[in-house]
Structure 1
Amino acid sequence: MKKFGVYLSLAMISLSLPACSLANSKEAGTVDAAVVNKEVEKNKSYAKKDFDFDVVPETFQVAITENGTKEIVAQPLEAKKVTDLKKEKKQISWTYPTEQIHVDIQKKANHLAIAITSSDKEDRTFNWPKLDATNYTLPIAEGKTIPNDQKDWLAYFKQNDELAMSESFSMNFFTTNQQKFATTFVMDDTFDSDLIAQTEPHLTLENAHHFIGFNPNKTLNYRLYVTDNDPVAIAKTYQMDRMERGEFKTLDEKAEKNPEIKKMAGAIQVYYWNNRILNTEDIKWNKLPDKVDEPIFKWIGELLDQYGEDGSEEYLNALAAFKNHEGYTFEKNTILTAINYTLLYPQFYNDAIFKNPDKIAQQLLDKGIDSLSEQERYTLNKHLLAGVLSDLTPELNSWGQASSTDVLKDMKASGIENAWIGLPNWANGLMNPTMVKTANDQGYLVGPYDSYQSIQENASIDWNTASFPNKDLYEQATVSKKNGDKVAGFLGKGRKLNPTLIFPDVKERFTGIVKNKIPFNSWFLDTDAAGEIYNDYSKDHLTTKNEDVAGRLQRMDYFDQQGMVVGSEGGNDFASKEMVFAHGLETPVIMWSDPDMRENKDSPYYVGSYAALDGGIPSKYNKVVPIKEEYKAIYTDPVYSLPLYKLVYNRSVITSHHWEWDSYKIKDQVGERRMTEYLYNTPPMAHLDKASWEEHKSDLSQNAKTWSPFQKAALQHEMTDFSMLTADRLVQKTQFGDKLSVIANFSDTDYEADGVKVAAQTALVLNDGKETVIKGD
């Protein structure tokens, strides 16, 4: 694996003025309400009111005429039989009797209201609208502008010709860019809609909506808005629509009930890997050869045989190697992995092995192992192990601290004032509560990854998120397809859970984790905002996708009520009122289906594996890889990217990269992505352990000193404007209120206009006349 240091020069920051120049006199959350209201009030000016519409009921063709220009915005379908036709000046309705579909269209003050209703008691799919435009503006991840003939996008849609909109779209709209204006179709939700793509002779799109027979709501509502061909007009019109329907909540409003949310402003995003409480530096390896025959090491092997997924063979071979004085790095890591792994086991205590427990261990044993909380069980196991390894290890309270607590203290001392610290599992925190307390005491947010997506019938300790005390859930609370088959869980293991049926189990898990008052103050819920939702056809618990989502939002709200700052994967805006932050919008998972990236380990594009021999960061998260040229247009090329989500939710949801694609992951794009982070107000993200902290310490701490005050200022305002300053779209500008803006020059040529010069491959932050340079080369 190449060293990361080769690429650090891409992202070093050069400050022309002190970082503190970015900070406004007001702290985040105290911005003048009148200023924000003025920024929001402008939304009402974007949607055009003076337009006419024409409809051909037989083909459902819709045309819009605005300022003398007529455009077909919904292409004609195959002609159908029409009955019950009623037409007035501003309203038209009819029925397709064969399809059992009724259509009603009304001209409102600033939009066209289109209601499509199915009267079929069975599942029914109806396709509309069919779109054929020269360009599409779509909320794919943060946002994309897609020409209908761009070769890489055509290849993408040829491979992905049917996208579930609830997963692929972060917001509930799609837009066609006509010659003179844009038309935006806003939906109540996208839960049962698929985007169908045709790529010959150019890109055309069609919405296939599935009316579900057991869903009492069989009406699909569109609000068709007409705006200028401007992403700001499109996004702000959508924001207005969300606000009018009560589907918008700012971070300030969320923080009124949960003040911990204020810590999120200016925070860099860190996934911290501390999978071991007992580390290499905690073992006196020179003494191990004389100890390997002691009962504890045999016991660990027996536990691995009984409860481990991979058995004990490698572990026993490593012990044998040490006995022969041939134990090296691989053997050390194998033994450490085994010890740390078995410390998690409820079955760890064996009175024949641990004959002289210390005072704390005895007190816990006296309580009864079955009555211990998870954290108490880990405490017991650590004390038991320390009692029999006293000749090999230092004092128990120092185990693992050099690679966890000490690193977090150094982060603070190095100038990282604001950070979100995400742990790969709650067990990492329960095994090392000192680290969690330290993070909290330093003013950081700290919390575990948690998931309620899947359940396995007999989950190993590796899959504790897929394990629940209530064993009835596997049969009684899992999702069925229409044909009766169960929906498979993550990576094909187990089954998918129905969120409406497990809320008591969510509460039980949480209360068990925090029973001993471990000071978590954040919680990350896997996939809850990613749009991977289901209609459950199980006869005894029929559940619609709307109800599925309601179940997810209920648990988000529950964690918020417990004082946790809630985040989730994806960031799709059905969860925007409940979540504070989201990972995956700015850089989503890149081409999950590409075997060169996921399977072919010899490929230069292979992203890495989930395992880490040394207990640190798995290579999937810290291996630097390039992405294929044909994927850049889809995922990273600024030419096709738009800050649509930020134009809507800058004050509401803090969004960053998917954890698989942190700020350092993509080879030769570290600097470019940093420029985009400032342009879009996207927190930098890093995977850290002790070694990677030392590697990135200088870069992260210097960037944080600039980033934190910048974001605190940016969050006080709407993203009020976005513009392309050059014809090649490589110089872009965002605006946050009247005084803060960012100009990013992604080109290889210096840019100068209106007295402002931005060097090639550089971003310039302008705050009330003060300049800060972010270097990307």
Structure 2
Amino acid sequence: MSLLIPVPQRCALLSLLLATIAGSPQAAEIALSDGEQAVTLDPQTLSIDWNNVQINQATLRIGGKTQTVTELRQSAAQQASWTLMPARVRVRASLDQTLSLTFAIDDTVTIARDQPVTLAWFDLPHQATRTLYLPFSEGMRVPTDHPVWAQYLQQHHSGANTTQNLKMPFWTTRQGDTFISYHLVTATNNQLTFTEAAEGPTGVQAQNQAQNEKPQLDMQASHQFTPLNRSQDFVVRISLGDNPLSGAKQYRQWRAGHHQAQPLAAKLQHNPALKKLIGASQVYLFGKDVLAVQDVKDWWGLKNWIMSHPELTLSKEATQELGNLKQGQDWLSRYHKQLLVNSLNTALNQLFPAEPVQLNNNTIESQFNAAQLRKLWLSNQAGRYLTPPDSWGQGLASSMITNLQAAGLSKLWLGLDNWMPAFYQPQVVDQAKSAGYLVATYDSYNTAIPAGLNDGWLTAQLPGEMRTGCAIKQANGTKKKGFRGHGFYLNPNCQRGYVEQRIRDITRFGHFDSLFLDVDATAMAREDYRDGTSEQQMLHAFNDRMQWIADSTSMVLGSEDGNSLTTRGIAFAHGLETVGFGWSDPDMRNNRQSPYYLGRWYPDHRPDFFFQPAKVKAPYQTLLFAPQFRIPLYQAVFHDEVINSHHWHSDSLKFSNVRTERDLIGMLYNTPAMVHLSREDAASPDSPRIKALRHYQDGYLPLHRALWDQPLVDFRWLDDEGWLQQTTFDDGSRVIANFSGQARRYQQQTVPPQSIIATLSDGEVIRWQSQPNL
């Protein structure tokens, strides 16, 4: 009978028998086999080799302690199980095309809520690993011997979780021509750590190596068992592949097999309005008040009128600056005109306020009525100084839509950062929809702040019962502070009825056919000890809320990031093609003399932060934007499911010294541009920002019309330096991008500098060149 047992199994069983006879606590290595696949695994340290490829270094610790192995069983060539002591963690390993590891903590183990049990299970085989492929943002390609990358990951991503920080719960490594991918099926309660490899040779050998070799980036991963997730097994799937997208393709296949994929084609069948999103560039319209400077036709008349109306409360600055100006003696500068309009808008808001928010009254109707009263009162009182009231508006005006159409822009998603512009001019929303555009408002239910703190932040104006009663309670008993430390973050499974009614009311009064729901799709999973919500349950609550919107309303739904764990119901997302960076960098945040300064959050109708061009400083310019370090991991999973673009902090025109790289990456990956507009930016069909939109449409619209429902199936460099790159889609369409400043040849065709050539499956050829000075 022994002859029927495979040789690796006989060796493992013999070693186990000898160890048992000797009474040794040290377990033998386990040999798993499946056809030509052979895995050797040390159950005590979790050192793993697969077909002579090192998968994991010997590192396993639980609660910081090494473990011994008991109850080791291997009844088949593909499976084994054992228990780690003293932690009492049960482990199962199985090999079936992929290597699956499952860890479960025994029910008898006591876990205090502020003292989780940490399983340190992964340590990168750094000496054998050449490259890391990480889904931070769209996808990062990280050479492990690159010192700047090593420093950046240690400073900015060490301690990252695998729900919000890692945009998809896997990573891929390269050893030679083999690509090893690690998929965390249990994506919650994990942490990644990046360090510089410490071990190595000593003495003279180390000195010689230090002169000839670069330090190696190292990476570790751990999982925490807590009182709220202890019944959930921790599961990891490890697979081998032959190209950098192997892990993404494995993950895509897994999502489809677990009924998590929602293709855009299926969403379109449910909501025909989604057709407007295909080929549409993304546009945010800024300005939230009723009146813009373009709406004034008699400045001195308006100035004298406002100063003579005591019911209009003006600021001290406005009173001093405007009060002494005399017609015929002084002149109204651009500053004075903007101050006058801002003061009038503020006074109107104070004269006709909306009702206070209550749990049984979201005041959306009150806000709409207040908007109409302000507009009617101003027209009656000061109409002779102004253009007709139906033409008014900062963030939304009929002239803007007319000029967008006149420019030949046929497909746009128009987003408002505040629903009030639509409440002032709902007929303009209808005009935009008739023009073929989607019109959306920003909304959010994740931070609640008290009244008076920032009343202009409408989405955070939630009832006190929600602010305190739905606040997430952390393991230490404190409530989780909200965005930028204001108010509290809320549990999405709390007061759903209020949320649903407010969304219905915003849609009805604003006439919107799209909604951008901030934060819900970022996979911001937290444990909530207020009601015992685990991280996994919180992700489910986010998904359920978004799916309800998609199912119960006619709006095309989008959200921030579109992290893979929270994509239910969404058709688009903003955030992965350019993520936020340098948040604490003084040159970017505070130094107004720096070329890297992002700008003030002023003026309200056109904040410098969003409109003022800036340069990207080192090392971000290289690490985050050089095409050699980018890889379309997210698009390989989601191209035909979620249309992703930039974070709204960084539209396509924001960064002057990486604009070409961003333009070409967008065309190569087939993702839309984003351009911010204010009323003054849309004053003419030939204004610079509208011309830029028209240029982006020339390339993106025909490409996306052909490829929106096609998976991205291949990515490769066509030269050794990565200046010439190609993506391939499921129907055979190919896009080649030349990032260099010189024309380059590939297979009988010349690709001009800083341009793309797309060859579609029907033979159509699309050529497009970045024009950063447009």
Q: TM-score, normalised by structure 2?
A: 0.85
**CA shift at 1:402, angstroms?**
11
Count of residue pairs brought into register by the alignment: 691
Q: Which residue among 708, 719, 736 is the counterpart of 2:712?
A: 719
CA displacement 1:131-166 (0-9 Å, x = unmatched): 122211111111122111112211212212211221
Distance change (3 Å), C-alpha of 1:290 and 1:343: closer
| Paired residues for 1:585-664 under 5 Å | 585-612=576-603, 615-664=604-653
Distance change (3 Å), C-alpha of 1:432 and 1:152: farther
Counterpart for residue 512 of structure 2: 520
Counterpart for residue 149 of structure 1: 145
Letter in 2 for 1:90: Q
Q: Is the 8 A contact 1:104 1:116 kept in 2?
A: yes
**CA shift at 1:388, angstroms?**
2.1
Letter in 2 for 1:618: P
Report the identity percentage: 28
| Paired residues for 1:684-699 under 5 Å | 684-693=673-682, 694-699=687-692
Distance change (3 Å), C-alpha of 1:533 and 1:754: same
Q: Which runs of 5 or more residues in structure 1 are unaligned?
A: 1-47, 302-311, 351-367
Distance change (3 Å), C-alpha of 1:654 and 1:372: closer
Whole-Å separation in 1 of the counterparts to 2:769 and 2:587: 32
Distance change (3 Å), C-alpha of 1:491 and 1:190: same
Report the 3-state secondary structure (helix = DSSP H, G, I; strand = E; otherwise coil) of the residue aligned with 1:318.
helix
State whether structure 2 residue 339 is matched by structure 1 residue 334.
Answer: yes
Counterpart for residue 245 of structure 2: 232
State whether structure 2 residue 100 is matched by structure 1 residue 107.
Answer: no
Q: Is the 8 A contact 1:523 1:559 kept in 2?
A: no
Whole-Å separation in 2 of the counterparts to 1:256 and 1:344: 42
Counterpart for residue 321 of structure 2: 318
Q: Is the 8 A contact 1:745 1:762 kept in 2?
A: yes
Letter in 2 for 1:76: T
Whole-Å separation in 2 of the counterparts to 1:178 and 1:369: 57
**CA shift at 1:585, angstroms?**
0.8
Counterpart for residue 85 of structure 1: 72
Q: Is the 8 A contact 2:598 2:612 kept in 1?
A: yes
Q: Which runs of 5 or more residues in structure 2 are unaligned?
A: 1-33, 198-214, 356-360
Report the 3-state secondary structure (helix = DSSP H, G, I; strand = E; otherwise coil) of the residue aligned with 2:319.
helix
Report the 3-state secondary structure (helix = DSSP H, G, I; strand = E; otherwise coil) of the residue aligned with 2:628.
helix
Distance change (3 Å), C-alpha of 1:107 and 1:692: same
Whole-Å separation in 2 of the counterparts to 1:370 and 1:54: 64
Report the 3-state secondary structure (helix = DSSP H, G, I; strand = E; otherwise coil) of the residue aligned with 2:631.
coil
Distance change (3 Å), C-alpha of 1:482 and 1:605: same
CA displacement 1:337-361 (0-9 Å, x = unmatched): 23223444584499xxxxxxxxxxx
| Paired residues for 1:734-753 under 5 Å | 734-753=727-746
State whether structure 2 residue 549 is matched by structure 1 residue 549.
Answer: no
Counterpart for residue 183 of structure 1: 180
Q: Is the 8 A contact 1:584 1:656 kept in 2?
A: yes
**CA shift at 1:628, angstroms?**
1.2
Counterpart for residue 774 of structure 1: 768
Whole-Å separation in 2 of the counterparts to 1:475 and 1:691: 41
Counterpart for residue 209 of structure 1: 223
Larger-Rg structure: 2
Letter in 1 for 2:367: E
**CA shift at 1:601, angstroms?**
2.6
Distance change (3 Å), C-alpha of 1:746 and 1:209: same
Whole-Å separation in 2 of the counterparts to 1:439 and 1:344: 26
**CA shift at 1:169, angstroms?**
1.4
Counterpart for residue 535 of structure 1: 527
Letter in 2 for 1:147: P
| Paired residues for 1:369-380 under 5 Å | 372-380=365-373
Report the 3-state secondary structure (helix = DSSP H, G, I; strand = E; otherwise coil) of the residue aligned with 2:235.
strand
State whether structure 2 residue 440 is matched by structure 1 residue 447.
Answer: yes
CA displacement 1:21-54 (0-9 Å, x = unmatched): xxxxxxxxxxxxxxxxxxxxxxxxxxx9732111
Q: Is the 8 A contact 1:292 1:323 kept in 2?
A: no
CA displacement 1:658-693 (0-9 Å, x = unmatched): 111111111122222211111000101100123334
Whole-Å separation in 2 of the counterparts to 1:577 and 1:474: 26
Whole-Å separation in 2 of the counterparts to 1:604 and 1:689: 23
Letter in 1 for 2:320: N
Distance change (3 Å), C-alpha of 1:395 and 1:745: closer
Q: Which residue among 234, 254, 260 is the counterpart of 1:247?
A: 260
| Paired residues for 1:132-531 under 5 Å | 132=125, 133-160=129-156, 161-200=158-197, 201-228=215-242, 230-283=243-296, 284-296=298-310, 298-301=311-314, 312-322=315-325, 325=330, 327-345=332-350, 347-348=352-353, 372-400=365-393, 404-458=397-451, 459-468=453-462, 470-516=463-509, 518-531=510-523
Whole-Å separation in 2 of the counterparts to 1:172 and 1:562: 30
**CA shift at 1:74, angstroms?**
4.2
Q: Is the 8 A contact 2:391 2:397 kept in 1?
A: no
Judge which range, 652-661 or 763-772, deviates more. Answer: 763-772
Report the 3-state secondary structure (helix = DSSP H, G, I; strand = E; otherwise coil) of the residue aligned with 1:379.
helix
Distance change (3 Å), C-alpha of 1:290 and 1:727: closer
Q: Is the 8 A contact 1:528 1:552 kept in 2?
A: yes
Distance change (3 Å), C-alpha of 1:490 and 1:84: same
Distance change (3 Å), C-alpha of 1:317 and 1:497: farther
Distance change (3 Å), C-alpha of 1:647 and 1:684: same
Q: Is the 8 A contact 1:609 1:619 kept in 2?
A: yes
Judge which range, 130-139 or 388-397, deviates more. Answer: 388-397
CA displacement 1:404-433 (0-9 Å, x = unmatched): 221222212322111100001111211221
Counterpart for residue 129 of structure 1: 122
Whole-Å separation in 1 of the counterparts to 2:700 and 2:512: 24
Distance change (3 Å), C-alpha of 1:578 and 1:403: closer
Counterpart for residue 209 of structure 2: none
Counterpart for residue 73 of structure 1: 56
Whole-Å separation in 2 of the counterparts to 1:747 and 1:484: 55
Q: Which residue among 82, 86, 105 is the counterpart of 1:118?
A: 105
Whole-Å separation in 2 of the counterparts to 1:49 and 1:126: 31
Q: Is the 8 A contact 2:192 2:219 kept in 1?
A: yes
Q: Is the 8 A contact 2:228 2:527 kept in 1?
A: no
Distance change (3 Å), C-alpha of 1:146 and 1:131: same
Distance change (3 Å), C-alpha of 1:369 and 1:348: farther
Distance change (3 Å), C-alpha of 1:756 and 1:203: same
**CA shift at 1:770, angstroms?**
3.7
Letter in 2 for 1:243: A
CA displacement 1:630-658 (0-9 Å, x = unmatched): 11233111101111111111111101111
Whole-Å separation in 1 of the counterparts to 2:336 and 2:376: 24
**CA shift at 1:434, angstroms?**
2.5
Distance change (3 Å), C-alpha of 1:605 and 1:58: same
Q: Is the 8 A contact 2:354 2:363 kept in 1?
A: no
Counterpart for residue 201 of structure 2: none
Q: Is the 8 A contact 1:373 1:515 kept in 2?
A: no
Whole-Å separation in 1 of the counterparts to 2:121 and 2:188: 15
Whole-Å separation in 1 of the counterparts to 2:173 and 2:374: 61
Whole-Å separation in 2 of the counterparts to 1:734 and 1:180: 20
